[in-house]
Amino acid sequence: MDIDNKLSKIKLAVFDVDGVLTDGKLYFNDQGIEHKAFDVRDGLGIKLLMDSDVEVAIITGRKSQASRARLFENLGIRHYYEGKLDKLSTLHSVVEGMDLSMSEVLYMGDDLIDLSVMLAVGVSVAVDDAVEEVKEVADIISSKKGGCGAVREVCEKILSTKGYWNKVIAQFKKGKKYTN
């Protein structure tokens, strides 16, 4: 089955955080408080997916108030799972709860912890600066690095393949308002 056909069947897009939605660097101030940078274009891409027929989930190995604030509280991603080192078991629970099959899931990762999930889903995506082992198993490798619009690129590809992208553009030309 070609990649466009696989993408057209996606009902759940799952993203890692560090190295995918961020550049993978961890920033701490003198008080030990963590800071992260997120690309606002990625945020809009996620919101556009959530407005279509694609659910969005986050599965991350680390717990982070910065990630939680951006993704769960700010963007409103309901399926937010942090501190999950066994990402595959977490994903199986999510998929089962949504009554989906793994073939209807896209997962985007960057590092070794993502390998088992990437091998189990319908479409696996690696960011441009992912480790080689992840790139080797990916169906798609983004042209952008993690934290630099890679997620937006994938969101647009999903929306385009499903026939939504032109509708999205038309809405914005009419003045649709979004906060991202």
Q: How many CA atoms lie within 13 A of 144 on its CB side?
A: 18
CB atoms within 10 A of CB 69: 13
Radius of gyration of the chain (CA): 15
Q: Is 166 exposed, middle or buried (0-12, 13-18, 19+ CB in 10 A)?
A: exposed
| Nearest in space to 18 (alpha carbons), one of 48, 38, 44 | 38
Q: Residue 166 — φ and ψ, nearest 5°?
A: -65, -35
- What tens digit of pLDDT does each residue of 86-145 get? 999 999 999 999 999 999 999 999 999 999 999 999 999 999 999 999 999 999 999 999
User: Position of tokens 């992840």?
Assistant: 134
Q: How confident is the model at residue 177 (pLDDT cuts 50, 70, 90)?
A: confident
* Domain annotation for the chain: domains and CATH numbers: 3-173 (3.40.50.1000)
Tell me the average pLDDT of the chain: 95
Q: What is the pLDDT of residue 102?
A: 98
Portion of the chain with pLDDT greater than 90, in percent: 93
Q: Report pLDDT digits (tens) over 68-89.
A: 999 999 999 999 999 999 999 9
Following CA atoms 24, 60, 92, 114 in sequence, which dihedral angle do they give, to the nearest 10 degrees? 20
pLDDT band at 179 (very low <50, low <70, confident <90, very high): low
Distance of alpha carbon 172 from alpha carbon 169, whole angstroms:
5
